[in-house]
Each structure stands twice: as C-alpha cells, then as structure tokens.
Structure 1
Amino acid sequence: VAAAAANILSIHADGGVVRFAVPALAGLVFTDGGQLQVTDAAGVVQTFALADVDSLTLADAAATPVTVTYAGAAATVVNPLADVGVAVTVDGADVTVTGTNGLAGVVFALSGASSDGLFKAYADADFDLILNGLTLTNADGPAINIQADETIGVTLADGTTSTLTDGVTYAAAPNDEDQKACFFSEGQLVFGGEGTLIIHGQGDDQHGLGSDDYVAVNSGTIQVLSAVKDGIHTNEGYYQLGGDVSVASGSDGVDAGDGPVEISSGALSLALTAQDKDAVKCDGILLISGGTVDLDVSGDQSKGLNAVEVHLAGGDVTIVTSGDAVLEASGSGFDPSYCTAIKADALVLLDGAAVDIVTTGLAGRGVSCDGDVTVLSGSLQVTSSGNGAAYTNELGQADAYHGPCIKADLTTTLTGGSITLTHTGSAGKGLSGDGDLLVNGSGLLLQVAVSGASVTYGFSDAAEAKAVSMDGAVSILDGTLILDATDDALKSKTSIVVDGGVIEVTDCEEGLEAPFLTINGGEIHVHAADDALNATMGSDIEGDDGSELVINGGYVALDAPSGDAIDSNGTLTIAGGTVLVHGASSQPEVGIDVNGTFRTDGGFIVVAQINSNMVETPSSLSGQRAVLLRSSTTFNAGTLFHLEDTAGNELVTFRPNQRYSSVLISAPGLASGTSYRVYTSGTHSGTLEDGLYTGGAYTPGTLRTTFASSGTVQTVQF
C-alpha cells in the first residue's frame, strides 16, 4: 500500500476552491503586486489575487478514494479526483482509469458484481486498489489489467471475499499491450489486508496472477483455483511475508522469473499435476526463512522447488511427489528426467528449516543439485519408495537409473542438523554424489536406511541399494552416522578417511568400502553380512590390487557372521586404536583377509574367527607383537576367551558373537619372553562392550594352554 502524502493543494478563494496535483506543479510564487501565481509543469500560469484567497490547504489523495461499484452490466463510479488528473471512463461494466500528474497514493475501491466487466488502469505513479467483496468476470480478457509500471498496493478488505474470472479466449489488446493473466500488472503487486481473493484463470494462454515486475504478499488469503498456464507468474520475484496463498494450475505453480523467491512467513500450498513443470521456481535464489510451504507434485519429471540456489533457513517445508522419471531420447539412447522435490543448479543449503519430503514415483528424487548440497542446521527427512529401472543410456550402453534421497554432482557438506533418509525402492540410494562428502559437526545426526532390491541390467550388472555412495573422497571428522543398507553402507570410489565422529552400521552387505580406507579416530560399529571394512580397487585381481586399508586410531568394532570382517585387496596396516573383530563362524571366511602385506604396528587388536586355511597373521616386519591362538576345539558363540600372564595380569577377555576356534591378538602389553595362560569359559564381573570386558575381574573357566611369547608373530596351537 502506497505511503500517505500531502499531494493535493487546494486554494480557497472567493470564487470557490481550486485544486492542483502537487507533483504536477512547477512553481508557487507570491508576487510583490499582491498576487499568487501557480505554474504547472507545462508552463501554464494561473493567477489569484491574494485579497481573494482565504487559505491554502494540503490533502492526501488517498483520503478521498475513487469508488467503483459493479452491478451486472453496469458500473457506477464516484471520482472525487477528476480535477487533479484522475480520469475514469465507463462502457457498460468496463471501467478504465487513467492517472496523470504523478499523483501517488490514489485509492480505487472496487466492489459489487459483474459477469461481463473489467477494471483497467493506466497511471504514472503508485496507487492502491481496495477489493471489497468484488466479483468480476471478463469474458474476453483479464478481469483486472494494470498497464502501469508502478507499485500497486492491493488491499483485500477485512472479512470480504473477492473473485476474479477471465475469459477462455482473449480479445486483441490495443497497442500490443500485455494481458498475461486474469489479474495482471505491468508493475509490482503488493497484497495486504485480511480478506480473501479467489482467482479462476481460464485464459487458454494466460496465467492466474501475473506481474511483469514482482508480487509480494504481506497478508490476506489468495487462492488461485485454476490457471491454464502458471498460477502466479512474475518476471522479477515473489515475496511472501505473511498471508495464506494456495495455487492449482496447469503449468508452473509460482514462476518468479529471474527471482528471487523469498518466503519468510505465512503459508504457501500448491498442487502441481502438469508434466515437466515446477511448483515454485526462479532463475535466482529461492529462500525460505519462515512460514509453511506445502507442495504436492504429481506430474512426471516435475519439480517441487527449482532454482539456481535453494536456501532453506527456517519454516516448515513439506513436499510430496508421485510423478515418475521420464526417459528422453538422447545420443544413442536415453537420458532420464526425474521428478524431484528440491532441485538446484548450484547450491542447496539447509540451515534452520524443517523439511519433510516423500517421493513415491518411479526413480523419484528427494534433493538433487548440479552443484553442492550443504546442511548446516535444521532437519531433513526424505522417505522414498520409487523403484529404479534398467535402460539404455545416451552412449548406447545398458545402464540403470534410480532415485536417491539426496544427490549432489559436486560437494556434499554436512556439519549440523538432523538428516533422516529412508528408501525402500529398488536400487535406491540414501545419499549419493559425484563429488566429495565432508561430514564434520558434533551435533550432526545422519540416519540412512535403504532396503530395496537390486536392478539388473546388461548381462550381469546390477545397481544395488546403498546408504551412502560417493564417487569422490569421503571425510568424516565429527558427527553421528547411523546406516542400514541392503548393499553398501558407506562407499566411495576414491577414498574414505575417518578422523572422528560415530559410525553405526546396523546391517549391510558391505560396511565401509573404498580403494583407500583410513581410520585415524572416531568410533565405528559395523554389522555386515559380508565385509565390514573393505579396501578394493573394484577389480577382479586375485593379488594385491594397490588398495590400502590403514587404522591409525579410533575404536573399531566389527561383526561379520558370514563374511570377512576386514578385507583388503591390497595392504592392511593397523598402527593404533582399538580393533575388535567378531569373524565368520564357518569357512572359508575369516576375520581378516589381506591380498597384500598385513602389518600390526600398534593398537589393541582382537580377532575371533573359525579355523581356516585362509586365517591371516601379520607380517614378521610388523612393529608390534601378535599371537594367533588356534584350537582344535570349536567354541560356541558367547564362550569367553581369556588371556593373562602367569602372574595373573589380564591381557584380554573377549566374548565372541559367533562360534570360533582361533583368536588373533596384538597389543602393546604382549611382551617378549613372558609366559601366558589361555582360558575359555568362566565369568567376568567387568563391563562388556562389543565383546570386550573392561574393569572387574575374571573367574577362570577351563585352562587350555600355557605358552611363552617369542618372536614378532607367533602361532600357538591348543
């Protein structure tokens, strides 16, 4: 709403009152000859004798609204500003107003009803509209058409409902004027008041609400119930600071042109059914810092939020998508185009908002960015159930497409907030990226559960369901990750480095997998059907493939009932930390499987496993002693294994999760020339965690053997 200003000058003289629009005046002069001369912008001078002038007063144009009352095929206009540059013409119920003289703040109050009328405005200054229970239909054009590149305040009168409807086919406009929407303006539209505006957009090539500048909603209720094209269309932005806006359209919901889109309060809800369209879009920054945004996207390959950058700084955002991905012809095959809840070209930034996404369509995506995805704070929940599928890619090769909960082409950075990703569709991914992943936040919680089947393509290739899958490097410095996957829990095609944080893998086929896997700190728990830790180049080479698995510190507890808990197709070096391994209960799987060199240079290591010809011992060049204790007896799961020196000093008491017949131990306390006793069974009064007892005391069970430590690597049979 335009600000009030004293912009009408009234000269009260003996002959009556003469009024002038102040912006149209060039000068006001009191002459020595006792005259008052008023000069307008065109140089026309009116002269008043001061003796005849009683007073001069200033008034605000907004204080005397121009009223337009529609009644069927007619309209009644009361225009108190005709003498200061506001002209009104009426043809039946077609009302055209023209504001000249730069008179700002003029108010046009519209009420009544007509099924064959319109309101059209030309102006050279800002003005205001009051919609006071107006019902207006124009059978061959916009109901309201503002041909003024100015700021128009639109007040929805409290407690009233106004309804606008346009025609299906528009008549040609004079002078090639734009008429792009049922309610259209060349200038900015700023909505206020506590009333309701309903728009029925029927124009076959028009939007519901349109501006060639921007639309701002401060308050009130706006319902675009239909539009053949966009529900709300602007060239330079959409701002919502309050109010309740709902949109249903045949094309985009809100298209803000070059942008931005800024939503700081109020409620915005959209239902998008069209294919390959966007619920809310702009070619700039889309910022949600407050309020409520609720989107329902059912069109194939359509998007919920779509912008160059999407910033989610506050408020509640709920997006439900049910549209499918569509294969578009490209090259020698096809390129999938996905239905996506949040899509950005350069950046998706979550820093304070609460975001809830549900996707159900074929290969539907939650968050997808051609650039970076960054989460600093707030909450993100993505629940996906859409299956993946096989196809022929643009190179003519057999391939598979699928819908990850989060996908970034460049860098994914997680430093705070709560992220919950659930995917039950085939070949689904929780977090996927072509670039690097950085996890570093003490308050960060990332929970990922994927349970879908694989998608087979080609002769024998398969796309598997993975919790976290990155092409680039993964760096974990802090935070909590809870992962559950049908296939890999955490995979990188480049490297994984864990310096801190907590990683809890509750179930998976492969736990942590990369060509170069380094653990320097943190706490890692993995329960895996196959390999808990796996260093591999991904080739089928039987020997050392050049991959590296290094543990320098941290706490690592691994449980692999039917696989190799630690499997390196290259080298394995353990130089620090605590490593507890519950190995497989049957051959040929073992607790540690290394194709290259295996070194124990430090740390506290316990590996319980079944006897097998595949059981590994460290290299004799290792920097820390190790002993492999092998028994001809197989002990049941839960049977305690205890090692102490002959003075009764406990080195380790371990409770394996699976049956076992050999235990590999390497620890700083394993001294050369010292005699040790091996017990099984018995009880322990200490604290049990991950199979290892600490504190308390051991009550002996069965003494199995006594041996003297010798050499760097020793094997003891009993």
Structure 2
Amino acid sequence: MKYKIRIFIITILLLTLLAGCSSNNGNNISDSSKNTENSNNTLSEIDVSIPDGTSYDEDDTDVSYVESDDGEIALNGNSISYNGEGAVVEGSIITITSPGEYIVGGKLNDGQIIIELSTDEKVQLILNGVDITCKTGPAIYTVNADRTIITLADGTTNTLTDSSTHALESGADEPDACIFSKNDLTINGTGSLIVNANYKNGIKTKDDLKIVDGNITITSVEDGMVGRDTVSVKGGTLNINAGSDGIKTTNEENTEKGYCNIEGGTTNINCGNDGVDIVTDLTITDGKIDITSGDGSNSNLSVNNSSRKGLKANNSISVYDGTIVINSRDDAINCNNLITINGGNIEISTGDDAVRANTEIIINAGQITILKCYEGLESKTITLNGGDVNIVASDDGINGTDGSSSVFGGGFDGGGFSSGTAVLEINGGQITVNAEGDGIDINGSIVQTGGNVIVLGPTANNNGALDYDGTYVISGGTVVALGSSGMAQTASTSSSQCSVIIYFTSTQAKSSVFSLLDAEGNEIIAVTAAKQYQSAVVSSAALIVGQKYTVDVNETQVNSFTQSTLCTTVGSGGGMIPGGRR
C-alpha cells in the first residue's frame, strides 16, 4: 500500500515562541500575508510505502462460538466440572488434548488450564467470566499447539493470577508468565482481561503474539507482554504496568523475526525499564500510545546499568500515523540504525535524548513536539523533508555526530583542521529549536534546500545558535537563528542563497521582537525571542545582493545594511574561531 505525503516548503513568520507561521504571495514574509497556497511555494512529493503489516486470518479475528452445556468448563472454586470430550480433569487442573472450542466460566482458587495438542492443531478458549489463581505456575499454559486463541466473551471480566513462585523442573527457567504459550497466541473478543503476574511476566509466547481486541490490563513484576518472534497489536485497549519492559520481542537469531507491529488500539504503558523493546523492527501505523518509563523525565533513577527508554528497537523504528505520548527517564525514541517518521502526532518529555539513532533519522511528515529533553534529534545523518518539529532542549537541539572529536573547523565556513562526517539535510518542514546549548550542532556539514528553520539559541558564549565544522550550504528555505555572539556562525560562502549575520552592540532582551525589513519597509522576518540574544543569522530568498535592509527590535531601528555579498556580516563579534565540537 502506498500514499503520498505532500510537503509544502514555504517561508514563515514566527510570532510566538514555538512557531506561528504565515507567508505571502512572494518569498518575503509579512504579518498580513496569510496565503500559503501560491505559485511561489515549492511542492515536493514523497512516496512512502506502508508495510502490509501482520497477517490476521479468520481464526484470529472470529470471536463467534457455539454455546453448549457439554462443552462448557465450569470452575467451582477447588474443582472443575466438564462433561464434554477432548479434555481431562485432575482435581483443579484441566488439560485440553483435542482441538476445538472450549467455553470456560467460574472461579478457581488454585488451579490451571493446560493446552497440549499436536503441532498442527488449534484451540479456541472462550473466557466467559473467569477468575483463576494458580499458585504453582501459569494460570493458562499452552505446552503444545499450532495456535491458542483466547476469546474474551462480550460483557465479561476475566481475571488471571499467578503466585510469586513457579514450580519449575530442575534447571528450567520457564514457564515464567501468568499466560504462557510455547506456540502462537492470539487474544480477541470485546470482553475484559486482568492479568496479575506476581512471578515474572504477564503474557508470553515463544512464537507470535497477536492482540486483536479486548480490554486488557496487565500488572507484572517483570515484562508485560513478550512475543519471542513477533508482537502485533491490531486493536483493543492495553493497560500495562510492568516492573521491567512493557512490550518486547526476544528472537535474536532470526533477523526476519523479532519485530513488532502496532496498527491500532490504545496502548498505555507504565514501566520500570523500556516501554517497547524490539529486537529488529518496530512499525507503528496507527493507534494511541502513551508511555511512562523509568518514572518519567523528572526521575532520578540511574540509567547507567538499566535502559529506561520509551520506544527502542535495534534495526528500525517507523511511524506512519497515530498519537504517541512519551515521558521517559532515558531516550524517548532510540534505535541502533534507522528512525523514520512519516506522520502522526508525537509528544515527548525525556530526561535524555528525544529521538536518537546511531545511523539515520528521516522525518517526512507529522507533528513532533519535544517539550523537554537533553538533546532533541541526534544521529550521524539527519534528513528533514517535512513535518512540524518543535524542540525545547537543555543542551543541543539538533545534534549530528559521527563519534569523532573534530575541533575548530576554522572560519565562518567551518572546514579547517578536521571536520566530521555527520550530515544534516533540510529539504522541507517547519523546524523550531529552543536550546540552552547549541541550537544546531553538526559534527560535519549542513545542506538546506527548503524548509523553515527557527533557532532560539543559547545565551552563553561557549555555545552557538548554529555550530558546524564542515560547511552550511543553503540554496532554499528560510533560516532565522538568534543567540549569543561568542561562537556565532553563519552560512557558507558556497551557498547560492544570501545570508546575513548581525552582531548587536548590546544584548537584546528576552521577548523582544527581531525584525528584518526591506528598503520599502516590508517585513521579511519577525521573530519573538525566547531569551536574550546578541546575534542574529538570517537566510532568505528575500535577501538580494545590492539591496538595502533595516534591522528593527521592537519596531525600533537598530541598524541597517546593504547585502554586499552572498554572506554579509553586520557589526562585529565572536571571540573564538567558529566551528567544531565543544
């Protein structure tokens, strides 16, 4: 399946702290111009292939069953009654040995349902209002089957509880969950399921785990839901309170497995470690996800030996749609390889990095609001093609790092002694950064062909609104960067679009409005400062060599200049060589 994300690359006017945008019929920016669909806007289309996702067959989704007195399993406190065929009762334990439908109702004080079929047989277990406690192992235990389907009967509440100890065979470490299956497990139906996992894990399967529907609440000492090969969530409501990870996969041997697909439903996770921990690929195409990990962004819990991330995967994380809210002690979204955001609404508060990938981050569309973080976006390669990205960071807003320690690139263009290989590419989107450290810090080079970038940078002179040690080549889009003057950098002279760096003779106040006007008094740029600033960098198609411009603060002229070259400097400032890692 494919759809096209249309990205309008337009010039904006920022009149609020975290971006309010408007444009006019040309490339200039004015408060009165509100038309964003004009012939001068650049329109690019990105084809995004949505993966087919998990395959659900009729057995996975069919919740119908035939009620029969002979086929109903009655739980009677300390005993079990069953008049049908295909199952054996021994005291308070029933073992299902034949495929088919089995309806279960009643309460079991200390007992167990065991499923033991051949590898090509399926069983549907209809929970019709059960309360099962098992003091020696899982409440439901599939020893062998092709698939176990647990159907939550409409209008019922079903409670499963295990104890803090399991009677395991010598040398064994499982079964270690309240619901444990050695084979595929599907949960469907519109009823409710409460899982109290006092030993270790809530729901665990050695193969595929599918959640089709249901209102499921899991409280677990360790992990909430574990699927060795895959975990898939199609719908329903999941409420997971886990001492360790919320949802995880564990198959590290097969690179085609160990993945997770979330395609809908509502998933709420409160966990001590990672919200979602996936061995290979995590794909989110829809749904509502709310994660609090490690007691949240204000927690003092250590992350030295424990991972307390929101979403984590080894190979890739892909978001296409849905609403995601993460409050994490550790990184909010973390991947060893690639993170791609193609849509959705993501809100992040974290005590560490917001979105971090070792190899690459690609943002094509979506609303990404980072309310709190140490660093906002961090990767070796960062590509921004679209979307609305708002970052508030206590250190760097956007950090491109390749692991090297290059220093002092030299001059306003960077270059010089040694430069890193990290790359930030901006082709579209609305990007707003409010950072206490460097606004944009790239251990390498920046390429901008479009998009609108607003940087509300640092007040300290040991950081800069823009910091790169290679080159910053601009051929389109808009840049406004306010910050300190000590390490200020502007665009490279190899750019084809004009830029200007303005040094102020005095520090400009927080909340003051910085404006740039053309010779006729038309407003090109207007930005309300989030903090004090001593320098401003502007790049816009409205800047033309040979033309005159006026610099206003709070509608009072503080300077004027002629754009004498592609990269013009107004005033003087900066006490160190720009560029490099600091």
TM-score by length of 2: 0.75
The answer to whether the aligner puts 1:447 opposite 2:320 as a matched pair is: no
Q: Is the 8 A contact 2:131 2:160 kept in 1?
A: yes
Task: Give 1:223 deviation, angstroms.
Answer: 2.3
Q: Which of residues 163, 170, 177 in structure 2 aligns to 1:278?
A: 177
Q: Which amino acid aligns with 2:368?
A: I
The answer to whether the aligner puts 1:710 opposite 2:573 as a matched pair is: no
Q: Which amino acid aligns with 1:353?
A: G
- 1:27-106, aligned counterparts within 5 Å? none
CA RMSD of aligned residues (A): 2.4
- Aligned equivalent of 2:316: 436
Task: Give 1:474 deviation, angstroms.
Answer: 0.8
Task: Give 1:185 deviation, angstroms.
Answer: 9.9
- Aligned equivalent of 1:470: 335
Task: Give 1:610 deviation, angstroms.
Answer: 1.2
Q: Which amino acid aligns with 2:107?
A: Q
Q: Is the 8 A contact 1:605 1:666 kept in 2?
A: yes
- Aligned equivalent of 2:140: 254
The whole-number CA distance in structure 2 between the counterparts of 1:422 and 1:280 is 24
- Aligned equivalent of 1:293: 193
Q: Which of residues 512, 535, 553 in structure 2 aligns to 1:639?
A: 512
Give the total of aligned pairs. Answer: 461
- Aligned equivalent of 1:318: 217
Task: Give 1:632 deviation, angstroms.
Answer: 1.7
Q: Which of residues 559, 563, 567 in structure 1 aligns to 2:434?
A: 559
Secondary structure of the residue aligned to 1:365 is coil
Q: Which of residues 97, 102, 106 in structure 2 aligns to 1:222?
A: 106
The answer to whether the aligner puts 1:579 opposite 2:453 as a matched pair is: yes
Q: Which amino acid aligns with 1:268?
A: N
Secondary structure of the residue aligned to 2:463 is coil
Q: Which amino acid aligns with 2:137?
A: S
Secondary structure of the residue aligned to 1:630 is strand
- Aligned equivalent of 2:549: 676
Q: Which of residues 317, 334, 343 in structure 1 aligns to 2:226?
A: 343
- Aligned equivalent of 2:269: 382
The whole-number CA distance in structure 1 between the counterparts of 2:240 and 2:152 is 20
The answer to whether the aligner puts 1:410 opposite 2:410 as a matched pair is: no
Q: Which amino acid aligns with 2:541?
A: P
- Aligned equivalent of 1:168: none
Q: Deviations over 1:586-609 (max 9, x none)?
A: 111110110111122211110001
Q: Which of residues 188, 196, 208 in structure 1 aligns to 2:86?
A: 188
Q: Which amino acid aligns with 1:671?
A: I
Q: Which amino acid aligns with 1:298?
A: N
Q: Is the 8 A contact 2:71 2:82 kept in 1?
A: no
The whole-number CA distance in structure 2 between the counterparts of 1:540 and 1:185 is 74
Secondary structure of the residue aligned to 1:429 is coil
Q: Which amino acid aligns with 1:292?
A: S
The whole-number CA distance in structure 2 between the counterparts of 1:486 and 1:129 is 55
Q: Which amino acid aligns with 2:124?
A: Y
The whole-number CA distance in structure 2 between the counterparts of 1:651 and 1:439 is 35
- Aligned equivalent of 2:125: 240
- Aligned equivalent of 2:151: 264
The whole-number CA distance in structure 2 between the counterparts of 1:347 and 1:664 is 49
The answer to whether the aligner puts 1:357 opposite 2:227 as a matched pair is: no
The whole-number CA distance in structure 2 between the counterparts of 1:154 and 1:638 is 71
Task: Give 1:611 deviation, angstroms.
Answer: 1.1
Secondary structure of the residue aligned to 2:420 is coil
Q: Is the 8 A contact 1:217 1:243 kept in 2?
A: no
- Aligned equivalent of 2:248: 368
- Aligned equivalent of 1:520: 385
Q: Is the 8 A contact 2:195 2:202 kept in 1?
A: no
Task: Give 1:242 deviation, angstroms.
Answer: 4.8
Q: Is the 8 A contact 2:504 2:571 kept in 1?
A: yes
- 1:600-615, aligned counterparts within 5 Å? 600-612=474-486, 614-615=487-488
Distance 1:528 1:164, change over 3 A: closer
- 1:416-427, aligned counterparts within 5 Å? 416-425=286-295, 426=301, 427=303
Q: Is the 8 A contact 1:185 1:210 kept in 2?
A: no
- Aligned equivalent of 2:71: 153
Task: Give 1:303 deviation, angstroms.
Answer: 4.1
Task: Give 1:653 deviation, angstroms.
Answer: 1.3
Percent of residue pairs identical: 23
Which structure is larger by alpha-carbon Rg, 1 or 2? 1
Distance 1:162 1:318, change over 3 A: closer
Tell me: higher relative CO, structure 1 or 2? Use CA pairs within 8 A at least 6 residues apart.
2
- 1:391-402, aligned counterparts within 5 Å? none
Task: Give 1:665 deviation, angstroms.
Answer: 0.2
The whole-number CA distance in structure 2 between the counterparts of 1:284 and 1:406 is 21
> In terms of mean alpha carbon deviation, does 287-296 or 495-504 score higher?
287-296
Task: Give 1:285 deviation, angstroms.
Answer: 2.3
Q: Is the 8 A contact 1:343 1:367 kept in 2?
A: yes
The whole-number CA distance in structure 2 between the counterparts of 1:259 and 1:244 is 25
The whole-number CA distance in structure 2 between the counterparts of 1:418 and 1:297 is 24
Q: Is the 8 A contact 2:227 2:248 kept in 1?
A: yes
Distance 1:162 1:499, change over 3 A: closer
The whole-number CA distance in structure 2 between the counterparts of 1:162 and 1:475 is 52
Distance 1:238 1:293, change over 3 A: farther
Secondary structure of the residue aligned to 2:451 is strand
Q: Is the 8 A contact 2:427 2:451 kept in 1?
A: yes
- Aligned equivalent of 1:544: 419
Q: Which of residues 480, 485, 500 in structure 1 aligns to 2:365?
A: 500
- Aligned equivalent of 1:120: none
Q: Which of residues 456, 463, 467 in structure 2 aligns to 1:593?
A: 467
The whole-number CA distance in structure 2 between the counterparts of 1:258 and 1:278 is 17
The whole-number CA distance in structure 2 between the counterparts of 1:466 and 1:417 is 21
The whole-number CA distance in structure 2 between the counterparts of 1:590 and 1:316 is 50
The whole-number CA distance in structure 2 between the counterparts of 1:541 and 1:705 is 36
Task: Give 1:306 deviation, angstroms.
Answer: 2.5
Distance 1:164 1:664, change over 3 A: closer
The whole-number CA distance in structure 2 between the counterparts of 1:716 and 1:259 is 74
Task: Give 1:536 deviation, angstroms.
Answer: 0.5
Task: Give 1:129 deviation, angstroms.
Answer: 10
- Aligned equivalent of 2:204: 305
Q: Is the 8 A contact 2:71 2:102 kept in 1?
A: no
Q: Is the 8 A contact 1:184 1:211 kept in 2?
A: no
Q: Which amino acid aligns with 2:403?
A: G
Q: Deviations over 1:626-664 (max 9, x none)?
A: 000111200111111111112111111111101001100
Unaligned runs of 5+ in 2: 1-66, 167-173, 251-257, 296-300, 408-417, 573-582
- Aligned equivalent of 2:499: 626
Q: Is the 8 A contact 1:231 1:248 kept in 2?
A: no
The whole-number CA distance in structure 2 between the counterparts of 1:411 and 1:243 is 35
Distance 1:288 1:422, change over 3 A: same
The whole-number CA distance in structure 2 between the counterparts of 1:584 and 1:634 is 12
Task: Give 1:617 deviation, angstroms.
Answer: 1.6
Secondary structure of the residue aligned to 2:199 is coil
The structure whose residues are more often strand, as a share, is 1
